Structure formats: C-alpha cells, structure tokens
C-alpha cells in the first residue's frame, strides 16, 4: 500500500455499526445509485447536437466496458455471466435504447440522462404488461443497462464488476462505499479482494453484513450518509472493530492506524497457531466448531480455519444473479463438490431460504408488506413443490459422495415438517426407481429460528434428527426487530432475556430427546458469547470461518463446570441491563 499518502483536505470521521472487525486503509470507490440521481434540465437549441454526441459516446463507452468484462471473465465464472453480458450488449445495441433517446433529446430539448431514463420507464412499463414471468423479469436487465449508461453520463466510476484490469490489481487498497448493497450484489464481490466495505444502511445480521463478514474484510453498516460525504478516490480508514470511518486522515492518524493494522495482523497470525488444536475446554468438554458457507468456493476458507465440518451451507446464494433457477444437475454438482472436499466431515446443507432480504436478483423487491413474515424459506418451497423436489433430489444424489445432512429453515409448525418429510420420501422413491445411489438414512434437521418452534422445540426434536438454532432470525422475530433496519439496530440484542430463554428451552428439548443442538446464527461466531453458550449446554457452534479461531481460543481457556454455574446466574436474570455486565464480568474469569 505504498501509494497511500495522507491528504491535505480536511479530515473527519463518521460512525456506524462495525459488522466485521479489522482495519483497512485505502481509496474510496463509490458504488453509485445512478438512477436516483438523474435530474431533468432543458438545453438551448444550439447545444442539442452536442448532447446527442454525448449520448452516443456514453453508449459506446458502455459497449466497450461490457466487451472488456466479457473477455476478462475468469474460467471459474458462472456460465450465465457471459450470456448475461451478451444480453446486455444486445439490449444496448437495440434501437429502443440507442436511438429513441436521441429522438427524445431532439424533440424535448432535454438532457441525455433524462431522455434515456424516460425511455427506460416506458420499456419497463411494456415489460410489466407481459404475462410470461420470465420475459417480464427481463425488465431488470433493461434497468441495469440503462444504469450503466447513466453512470457514464454522470461521470461516475463504474460498478465493481466494471473495474478495469489495472484497477482490479489495486483492489486490495479499494474500499467500497455504497448506500446499500443487496446480498445478490455482495455475493458477486466474493470474486474480488476489496480492502473493506461500508454502507449507509443495514443491520448487524442483515445478509449483506453476513456476507461482508464472510469476505473477511472490515465492514461497517448504518453510516447514514457515507456516500454523500465521501468522494470517490479519497483516502479513508475503516476501523471495523469500532465502527468508525476516518476520511482524509492526517499524517499522525494515518501512522497510528498503520501501526494498529500491523498489530491486528500479528494477532491474527498468532491465532493461526491453534488451528489444529482440538476445541476442548480445560476440564475436557469437546466442542464441535463448524463453519458456515455460502458458495462451494468457501470450502477453502473452511479448511484454513481448522473447522471440523460445515454446520450451515446457505444454498440460496446458488440461486442468485441467475437468469434461471439452477437445475438439478447444477445443484447436485455444487453440493457434491462441497461434500467431497470435506472428506467425510459433516456437511449440513440448508434447503432454499429465499425471500425477505434474500431475493434472486439485486433489483427484485418483494411486493408484500412484511417480507420477513411472508412466503420465505420452507413456506416458499412447500408452495413451489417442483423447486423443492429438484433440490431434494440434488441433495440426496450428493449424499452418496460425503457426509451430507439436510437442514430445513424457518419451521414454525409440525405440518410444514411433515410435508417436507413426505416430499423427501417422494424424492427418495424417484431416485430409487432410477437406481440412483443416495444415503437412505440421511439425517434431517430443522432450524429453530421462529419463536413458535423454540417454544415447541420438544415436538420438533421428536420428529427430527437434529436442531440448529438460527439466532439471527430468532432475535428478529422474538424482539420484533427487522434485522436489516439500522433504525432499530440498537435494539437488536442477543442477550435479551427472552432470547436466552428460547435458546435454553431448545437446548433442553434436544438434551431430553437425545438430539444434538447447534447454533448457526451470528451468535455462534461472537467470541464474547462463547462462554455463555457453552455454559448453557451447547456443544456445537457453526460460524463464519474467520471467527472460528477466536471462538476456539475462548474454549481453550474455559472450565465447563464454571461456565455452567455462570450461565445459570445469567439465565436467572430478567433484566437486560443486569445481564450485559454479568456476561462481560464472566468473560474475564
Ligand atoms: C439465522 O437466522 O440465524 C440463520 C443462520 O439463517 P440466516 O441468517 O441465513 O437467515
Ligand atoms: Mg435465518
């Protein structure tokens, strides 16, 4: 990072919520929201020809950009991506986008951005009237292409996938500054190596934040106006641990942070020494430390972390940014790849949890009033049995190649579980008829992430092989706090006594029926909560690989007997204000 020099512009800091620790120093790269920035202005007649040329040049620039992206796609890039870019190129070449806006400029004497935006709105309206769902959804492609053109017209730097080769080489020193990033956008960033990631909105356990954590780079959300206050190319420091961004730091601050950055890397290096050490407390309790993954490529990080299994594979990311749903074969290959790479270690694969903030496409917005309470996860799968059947068949086929377990998200009633079991049976029968091998006794687990399921955990434990507590949603639904909304992020607290009670009830239900209980929500990866969770009786934690070693360090310094008595004291409290200091005090013991 030798190119980083302090700036002479005035320095200031912005505060948000740190969602992934560490320190990054680099140049701001503004991810724009160009469509919102288009204004309308009139031009005098003598400037019309110039405006038309400006428009033509923008189209040409986008064409060249798209061609560069297509030719520089890595071999591992999903096949759809090239097709996707080709579609965008043909849309760009179509008269409706390359010619009609010029007629609008000439006729209405308006600026080019406004003209193409008007034309886009017209085309989108036409698409919306189409009955065929697939064709109707193509409106998103039109919007994306137009957004690219508008960005060029507005003189914005282009989006992440548009970076030039030269800029890509410097990605390590680039910090993404966005108003918001959808999980579908964020998953694409996995191909890049940015230094950090900051957004104006978002909550600690929003899926965007979870993905940011899985990129293992410092990230801050809920900065409110970062995109307005920071200029492209400005030098910024991101302190993910404190949730602070320093813009244009002075020489002294920069030197101080470079020192802190070195210390942080040193600590991370030291943690690596316990990678192969078994996660056992000082009095001999073994804890299974598993990893959460989003895409098969994450297995590399799982191995580097020393995890002894995968406790949550969020398969919905396989469905994002695709023109079509992945078919059985594509899903099978992805699941098999993970199962084989883990060489017999457990791989818990969760069935599709689409809906709420996880949409297939960055531009899809759910039109129901409360998407988190709507048709998501297992509810969606049961309402689309063909999609579910395809996934269950793919999972069963992959079970022949490793130690796969199936996990069902968002269960709230036993009838959902029973319907799922029927569909699983049906998938097994169809494979048997075709003589396709699979693991007949594949384990089936359920996520406990809706209070109704936690309260009724015993009944679920009776009919399942294992339980996994999804604390992200359990907290959201118990406390009635939207996990993606920064306005209520301060109320989102895993230590709330009601949340702890529900976790405790689930652990007891599992223990009573001899079924294993894991936590796979973000609580599992928070080292400040490790001692409490072990004390409450958990013996399996699944988290992002980047958190695993700091959690293991806590375990290695613990006495289970002491943790149990401490946890009992915590659970006896009904007041959050008493619980927080108590947990902090017990962590120091
Ligand atoms: C959870 O809700 O805790 C969980 C692990 O699932 P997700 O974060 O994918 O909703
Ligand atoms: Mg969940």
Q: Is 483 in the pocket of ligand 1 (CB under 6 A)?
A: no
Strands 516-519 and 466-469: parallel
Query: Are 400 and 449 members of one domain?
Result: yes
> Residue 306 — very low, low, confident or very high, per pLDDT cuts 50/70/90?
very high
* 347 and 375, same domain (yes or no): yes
CA–CA separation, 105 and 89 (whole Å): 22
CB of 311 closer than 6 angstroms to any ligand 1 atom: no
Number of domains in the chain: 3
| Ligand with an atom nearest the CA of residue 470 | 1
Last residue of a domain, one of 154, 187, 209: 154
Q: Is the CB of 542 under 6 A from ligand 1?
A: no
CA dist., res. 341 & res. 43, Å (int): 61
Taking the CA of residue 316 as reference, the ligand 1 atom at the shortest distance is 9
Range of lowest pLDDT (36-45, 56-65, 108-117, 580-589): 36-45
pLDDT of 16 strictly over 50 = yes
Which ligand is closest in space to the CA of residue 315? Answer: 1
- Cβ of 519 less than 6 Å from ligand 1: no
- My answer on whether 67 and 111 are in the same domain is yes
Query: Is residue 120 domain-shared with residue 58, that is, in the same domain?
Result: yes
* Closest approach atom of ligand 1 to CA 520: 5
Q: Residue 54's domain is classified under what CATH number?
A: 1.10.274.10
Confidence (pLDDT) at 31? 78
Q: What is the mean pLDDT of residues 46-51?
A: 96
Predicted pLDDT at 25: 95
pLDDT tens, 427-473? 999 999 999 999 999 999 999 999 999 999 999 999 999 999 999 99
Expressed in angstroms and rounded, the spacing between residue 274 Cα and the centre of ligand 1 is: 27
Q: Residue whose CA is closest, atom 8 of ligand 1? A: 472
Out of 294, 353, 355, 543, mutate this one to test ligand 1's pocket (max ligand atoms within 8 Å of CB): namely 353
The bound ligand whose nearest atom lies closest to the alpha carbon of 348 is 1
pLDDT score recorded for residue 212 = 77
Instruction: Using pLDDT thresholds of 50, 70 and 90, give the confidence band for residue 202.
Output: confident
236: domain range? 12-28+162-249
Residue pLDDT, tens place only, 79-138: 656 777 788 899 999 999 999 999 999 999 999 999 999 999 899 888 878 877 667 767
The verdict on the CB of residue 294 being under 6 Å from ligand 1 is no
213: domain CATH number?
3.50.30.10
Distance (Å) from CA 207 to ligand 1 centroid = 8
| CB 499 near ligand 1, within 6 Å | no
187 & 46 share domain: no
**Atom 9 of ligand 1: nearest residue by CA position:** 314
Tokens of 186: 């964020």
Look at residues 122, 154, 186 and tell me which one is the last residue of a structural domain. 154
Ligand 1 atom at minimal distance to the Cα of residue 207: 8
The mean pLDDT of the chain is: 89
Indicate whether residue 98 lines ligand 1 (CB < 6 A).
Answer: no
* Strand order across the 12-15 sheet: 12-15, 244-247, 235-239, 23-31, 174-178, 196-199, 219-221, 17-20
- Residue 390's pLDDT is what? 98
Which tokens is 309 given? 């299994």
3 state SS for 143-197: HHHHHHHHHHHHCCCCCHHHCCHHHHHCHHHEEEEECCCCHHHHHHHHHCCCCEE
Q: Which residues are catalytic?
A: 207, 520
What is residue 582's predicted lDDT score, i.e. its pLDDT?
Answer: 97
- Higher pLDDT pick, 439 / 191: 439
* pLDDT tens per residue, range 145-183: 898 899 889 886 554 444 444 444 455 588 989 888 777
Instruction: State percent of the chain over pLDDT 90.
Output: 68
Ligand lying closest to the C-alpha of residue 316: 1
**Which of 59, 551, 127 is closest to 305 using CA atoms?**
551
Q: Do 218 and 238 touch, CB atoms closer than 8 A? A: yes
For residue 448, report the distance from its CA to the centre of ligand 2, in Å. Answer: 9
pTM: 0.77
Whether residue 472 has its Cβ less than 6 Å from ligand 1: yes
Give residue-wise pLDDT tens across range 524-572: 999 999 999 999 999 999 999 999 999 999 999 999 999 999 999 999 9
| Domain shared by 64 and 149, yes or no | yes
Same-domain check for residues 219 and 310: no
What DSSP character marks residue 99? T
Give the number of other CB atoms < 10 A from CB of residue 510: 27
Do 429 and 310 lie in one domain? The reply is: yes
Q: What confidence tens digit (pLDDT) does each residue in 363-411 have?
A: 555 667 888 999 999 999 999 999 999 999 999 999 999 999 999 999 9
Indicate whether 575 belongs to any domain: no
pLDDT at 159: 47
């Amino acid at each position: 990072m030798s190119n980083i020099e302090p700036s002479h512009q005035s320095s200031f800091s912005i505060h948000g919520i740190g969602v992934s620790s560490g320190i990054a120093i680099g140049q701001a790269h503004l991810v724009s929201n160009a469509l919102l920035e288009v204004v309308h202005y009139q031009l005098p007649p003598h400037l019309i020809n110039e405006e038309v040329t400006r428009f033509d040049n923008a189209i040409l620039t986008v064409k060249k950009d798209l061609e560069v992206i297509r030719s520089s796609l890595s071999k591992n890039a999903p096949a759809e991506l090239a097709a996707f870019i080709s579609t965008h190129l043909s849309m760009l070449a179509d008269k409706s986008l390359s010619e009609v806006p010029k007629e609008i400029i000439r006729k209405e004497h308006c600026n080019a951005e406004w003209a193409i935006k008007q034309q886009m709105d017209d085309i989108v309206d036409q698409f919306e009237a189409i009955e065929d769902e697939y064709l109707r959804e193509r409106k998103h492609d039109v919007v994306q292409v137009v957004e690219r053109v508008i960005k060029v017209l507005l003189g914005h730097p282009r989006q992440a996938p548009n970076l030039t080769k030269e800029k890509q080489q410097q990605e390590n020193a680039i910090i993404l500054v966005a108003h918001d990033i959808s999980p579908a956008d964020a998953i694409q960033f996995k191909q890049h190596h940015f230094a950090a990631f900051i957004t104006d909105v978002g909550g600690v356990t929003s899926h965007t934040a979870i993905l940011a954590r899985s990129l293992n780079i410092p990230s801050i959300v809920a900065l409110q106006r970062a995109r307005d206050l920071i200029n492209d190319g400005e030098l910024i420091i991101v302190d993910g641990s404190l949730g602070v961004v320093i813009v244009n730091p002075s020489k002294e601050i920069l030197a101080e942070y470079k020192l802190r950055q070195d210390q942080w890397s040193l600590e991370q290096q030291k943690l690596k020494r316990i990678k192969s050490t078994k996660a056992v407390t000082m009095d001999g309790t073994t804890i299974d430390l598993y990893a959460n993954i989003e895409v098969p490529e994450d297995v590399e990080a799982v191995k580097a972390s020393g995890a002894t299994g995968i406790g949550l594979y969020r398969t919905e990311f396989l469905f994002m940014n695709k023109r079509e749903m992945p078919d059985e074969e594509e899903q099978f290959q992805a699941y098999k790849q993970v199962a084989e790479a883990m060489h017999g270690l457990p791989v818990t694969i969760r069935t599709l949890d689409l809906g709420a903030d996880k949409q297939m496409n960055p531009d899809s917005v759910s039109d129901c009033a409360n998407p988190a309470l709507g048709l998501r996860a297992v509810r969606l799968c049961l309402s689309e049995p063909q999609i579910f059947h395809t996934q269950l068949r793919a999972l069963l086929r992959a079970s022949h190649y490793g130690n796969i377990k199936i996990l069902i998200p968002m269960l709230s009633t036993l009838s959902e579980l029973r319907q799922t079991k029927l569909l699983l049976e049906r998938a097994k029968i169809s494979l048997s008829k075709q003589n396709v091998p699979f693991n007949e006794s594949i384990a089936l687990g359920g996520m406990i992430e809706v209070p109704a399921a936690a309260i009724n955990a015993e009944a679920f434990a009776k009919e399942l092989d294992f339980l996994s507590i999804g604390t992200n949603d359990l907290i959201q639904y118990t406390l009635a706090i939207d996990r993606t909304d920064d306005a209520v992020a301060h109320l989102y607290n895993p230590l709330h006594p009601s949340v702890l009670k529900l976790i405790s009830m689930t652990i007891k239900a599992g223990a009573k029926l001899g079924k294993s209980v894991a936590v796979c929500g973000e609580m599992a990866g928070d080292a400040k909560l490790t001692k409490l969770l072990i004390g409450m009786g958990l013996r399996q934690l699944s988290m992002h690989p980047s958190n695993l070693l700091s959690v293991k360090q806590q375990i290695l310094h613990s006495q289970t007997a002491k943790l149990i008595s401490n946890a009992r004291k915590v659970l006896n409290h009904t007041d959050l204000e008493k619980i927080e200091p108590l947990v902090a005090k017990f962590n120091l013991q």
